[in-house]
Structures are given as structure tokens and as C-alpha cells.
Amino acid sequence: MENAKPKSRVQKAINRANERLNIKWAAAILATSTLLSALLGLYRDRLLNSMYFDTYKVGIDAYTVAFTIPDFMFFVLVSGALSVSFIPVFNQRLAKGNKESAWQLSSSMINFLALATLGASILIMVFAPLLVQYVVGPGLNEQGQALATSMMRVIAVNPFIFSITTVIASIQQAVGRFVFFALSPMIYNIGIIFGAVVLTNKIEWLGWQGGIMGVALGVVIGAVLQLIVSSLGLIGLKFDYRFKIFKKNLGFRKVLRLLPARSMDQGLDYVSSIVDTNLASRMAEGTVRAYQQASTLSAMPVNLVGVAISTAAFPEMTERLSQGRPDLFCKELRKVIQVIVWLALPIAVIMFLSRGYIVSIIKVGGDSLIAGIFGILAITILLRSVFHIASRSFYAQQDTKTPMLISVCSIVVAIAFALWFTFGLRMGAYGLAWAQVIWAALEIATLFVMMNLRMPKLFNRQFGVTILKMIVAAAIMSIETYIMVSIVGLRFDDQNILMVVPQLLLIGGISAVVYLIVSYLLKLEEAMPVISKISKFFLPKPKVTPPPSQE
């Protein structure tokens, strides 16, 4: 018999990357990749803002508007709706050793969602002029609407590509593979950066305005590259893909029953974004971009903390319930909530107090409008971070209707406040931001009430004391952060990123140390692993050499 062909270094690296990870490693990889992706996102935004924000506000507003409807369709049809409904059902099949049913379910979801999103993409391309004029960009001038329409038609292909990527990523999450899943968002940002740097100067012969269409092409290139990289995570799984929808597969039917409620929940969440974009387009030129940039900044730590930790914890939470251990489920949920609050609370405080520095990273010289909106939205960082694990606690129980009904009520209130603040009180973009705060607070409060009714032992006295200690630690840290910001004193005149980042790192670093020390003094368990790692790094244990033999 011939010897097996030796594996190449690339194959070995891929196999090692595809090994199953525990929650801690998965969360660490997801958080790291989210951070790196966020840094690429900051560079992407700084690049686009330097190219267009001051010189071509109509163009950058149109670019922002062009994303709204394709993103909405993706969120409604796929996105988190798939992962939280697909993974529990997929895991049940694997737990029972029924791989054939699991692969049939996976193939069916890929094919079904690909067909659905392909239809949606075609409709967006056809009706793009009407969608821009009447739904997302009514306040743009004629030039802006024409440009937004052209870019929307290009970006419309993204829901189709993302739908396939998301199913592939969900399979990897379910089996504990997170490396290639974590890498794909970074690849997407690289594609957009490529479009901004290279394609904006190479497509003048197509007759598109201002060269900004090159960025839209870069978006599509990034989506394709993201799909390719994500697909590497399937290597070694022996995924038996078939170009067929298995209508009789019970798992597929179950996911389809769970999908509509979660899809509606996702869609309702994004309706707020559509309303905000519509209203912002009626304000001064550049407001759409300014509001979107502030929203992006506030979403970064939510993705870094709330989404990363919740995504890593979700598969194991579903396993606890499938094992018939609701006690372990509650214990795990309480622990994850405490970790998220411990991390998100100081981040929100630091970002609020140092918002001028942060905005200077994405916009040379800073921008008072972006900084003002971001200061308000910083309040939502903690709320949105906790929201992700709170909603997933219901999804783990295969209950997608409760979060959906809560979203319906809260989004109506949020839109009402947005209209009142902007038109009634004439608060402009700041009114949109305050409506987001009210929405986030109402949604998380209602989720907690419903969660407590379902799991009365979840929020015990110890949990309340722990959260109170975290608030005290953050309050003490906020005093130090305010003093640091006042001492350093950023000047908003042609700030070089090499000047801003070290100052921001100094403020954030010292604030983090203060928070860690106070957390240690208050005996917060969440701080102990971090302190232990730091101690081992700076104070390694000396090697003990055995005494010489007496022989």
C-alpha cells in the first residue's frame, strides 16, 4: 500500500485553525478579530472621510444611503435570524449523531436563502430609484439621489453573497470552529479599502461620478473574498453539500418556523436605521454621514464585547438546555452577563469622556457634530452589549417570538420619539441619538423583566451586589479619566493620527489600570483572571532546579 501523501504546511495550518475551541478561546479569538476588524474599519472610515467628507458631502451621503436597503434585506432574510434559529436545530442533529440530517439542513438553508436573497437583490436593482427617492434619501439633491441609486444597484448583490457566507459561518459556530469565521470580516474591510485606494482612480471610463463608485465595487469584492475565506472553515468537516432543498427534512421545517419571528425582530431593529437615514437626509449635507459615523463608533465596542462573547457562549448555552440542565444554563447566563457588564461599562465611560480623541481618528481635525452624536450614543454601548446575550437567552430556548414582540413595542416608541425630537423639538441629529438611547433602555429593561419571570433565580442578591460594585468601580475610574482628558487637552486642528492615538492609548490605558485596581479591591471575580495573567507576565515564577544527586 502506498504511503499517504504528506500534508503541506498550508493544509496543516488550516487543519489546526479548524480545531474545536472552548468558550474562552473562542471569545478571545472573536474579540481579537473584532478589534482588528474595527481598526481596519477606522482606517477605512478615515480614508473615506479624508477623501470625501469635506470636499464631496453629497457623494459620501449618497454612499451611506446606498447601503441602507441592501443591509436591511440581509438583516431581515439572514444575519442573526439564521444563526440563532439554525444553530440550536443543527446542534440537536449532531448531538443525536444524525449527520445526514444536519447536512441536508445545511444544504437546504444555503439554497433556500440564496434563492430568496437573489430575488431581493434583483428587486433592489430594479426599484433602486424609488427606494432612494421615497424611502432612504428623500432629502438628497438630484445629484445625490442619482449617485445613491447607482451605488445601491452595485451593492445590491451583497445580500446574495452574504446569505451563503452566513450559513457557512453558522455551521462553523455550531461545531466550535471560529478562526476563519473570525477572519472574514477583516477581509471584507480590506476589500472596501482596496476600492477606495485603487478602484476610485481606475473607473473613470465607466462614466460614474466622482470616482466614489470604486468604493462600491470594493464592497462587492470584499464580500466575495469574505465568502472564500469563510469557506476554508468547512475543510475537514466532510460537509455533504447538495444543490437541493430538502422540504421534508424536519430540521429545515423547524428552522423555517423559527426564522420569521427572528427575521421580523431583526427587520424591526433595522427599520430604525432606515427612519434615521430618511430624517438625516432632510438635514444639512453631511448629516447622514456624520450620524452613521457616530453610530459605527458606538457599535464597535458592542461588537467587540457583547456580540463576540454572546456568539461564543451561545452554542454551549444551547447544549446546556439540550442536556436538560436549566440550572447550568442560568449559571452560565448570569456569568456571561456579569462579564459583559464588567467590560462594557468602563468602555462606555472612557469613550464618552474621550469622544473628541476618538472622532479625530476617523476625521482629521475632529468634527463637533459627530462627537456630539457619539457622546449621546455612548450610553447605548452598555445597553446594546447586554442586549445581545439577553436576547440569545430566549433564542437558546428556541423562543424567537418574545424578543420580536418586545422589539415591535420598543421600535414604535423609538420612532415616535425620533419624529418628536427632530420635528417637534427641532433637535436635529441629536434627537435621533436620544431616541436610540430610549429605545435601547426600553428594550433591555423589558427583556430583563421577561427573563426574570421565566427564570426567577437568575437575578439573585449576589448578582445585584456584583453589578453595584462594577458601577462603583466605573464611577471612580470616570473621575480619573476626566482629569486625564483635561490634562492632556487635545487640540482639534489638523490632528495627525500618530499624535492622537498615543494620547488616547495613554488615557485609556491608565483608566483601565485604575478600573482593574478598584475591581480587585472590591473583590470582583471578573477581574481576577486578568490580574492573574498580568502577574504571570510581569512576575513569572522562577524555575526551581532540583538538588544535585547525592550518588
Q: For residue range 23-44, list pLDDT tens digits in order.
A: 667 777 777 887 788 888 888 9
Question: Measured between alpha carbons, how far is 24 from 19 in angstroms, rounded to an integer?
Answer: 14
pLDDT at 208 over 50: no
Identify whether the C-beta of residue 33 lies closer than 8 Å to the C-beta of residue 288.
Answer: no
pLDDT at 393 over 50: yes
Nearest Cα residue to 65 out of 149, 190, 172? 149
Instruction: Render the burial of 286-295: b for 16+ CB within 10 Å, e for the rest.
Output: bbbbbbbbbb
Q: Where are the domains of the chain?
A: 16-285, 298-533
Question: Measured between alpha carbons, how far is 288 from 59 in angstroms, rounded to an integer?
Answer: 11
Mean pLDDT of 384-396: 87
Identify whether the C-beta of residue 151 lies closer than 8 Å to the C-beta of residue 63.
Answer: yes
Question: Measured between alpha carbons, how far is 386 from 348 in angstroms, rounded to an integer?
Answer: 12
**Which of the pair, 297 or 456, is modelled with greater confidence?**
297
pLDDT at 544 over 60: no
Which DSSP string do the residues of 284-333 spell out, in sequence order?
STTHHHHHHHHHHHHHHHIIIIIIHHHHHHHHHHHHHHHTT-HHHHHHHH
Count CB-CB contacts under 10 A for residue 285.
17
Burial (CB < 10 A; 0-12, 13-18, 19+), residue 243, is: exposed
What would the pLDDT profile of 317-365 be if each residue is shown by its tens digit?
Answer: 777 776 667 777 788 888 889 999 999 999 999 999 999 888 988 888 7
pLDDT at residue 335, rounded to an integer: 87
pLDDT at 418 over 80: yes
Residue written as cell 442560568?
A: 330
Q: Collapse the DSSP code of 2 into the 3-class scheme (helix H, G, I; strand E, B; otherwise coil) and give the result.
A: coil
pLDDT at residue 493, rounded to an integer: 52
* C-alpha of 277 from chain center: 19
Question: Measured between alpha carbons, how far is 231 from 171 in angstroms, rounded to an integer?
Answer: 10
What would the pLDDT profile of 251-284 be if each residue is shown by its tens digit?
Answer: 888 888 877 766 776 677 678 889 999 999 999 9
Mean pLDDT of 413-433: 92
pLDDT at residue 209, rounded to an integer: 44
Residues 6+ apart with CB under 8 A from 310: 336, 340, 388, 389, 392
pLDDT at residue 382, rounded to an integer: 94
Question: Measured between alpha carbons, how far is 260 from 550 in angstroms, rounded to an integer?
Answer: 76
pLDDT at residue 7, rounded to an integer: 62
Q: How confident is the model at residue 202 (pLDDT cuts 50, 70, 90)?
A: low
What would the pLDDT profile of 142-154 be if each residue is shown by its tens digit?
Answer: 999 999 999 999 9
Q: Which three cell numbers stand for residue 490?
A: 487635545
Residues 6+ apart with CB under 8 A from 520: 527, 528, 531
Residue written as cell 504546511?
A: 9
Question: Measured between alpha carbons, how far is 396 from 323 in angstroms, rounded to an integer?
Answer: 12
- Over the chain, what is the mean pLDDT? 84
Q: Which three cell numbers stand for residue 14?
A: 488550516
What would the pLDDT profile of 85-142 be if each residue is shown by its tens digit?
Answer: 788 788 788 777 788 888 999 899 899 999 999 999 999 999 999 999 999 999 999 9
523-528 contacts at long range (C-beta below 8 A, 24 or more positions apart): 523/469, 524/342, 524/466, 524/469, 524/470, 524/473, 525/338, 525/466, 526/338, 526/339, 526/342, 526/343, 526/470, 527/342
pLDDT at residue 276, rounded to an integer: 92
Mean pLDDT of 370-395: 91
Q: How far apart are the first and last CA of the chain?
A: 52
**Which of the pair, 491 or 107, is modelled with greater confidence?**
107
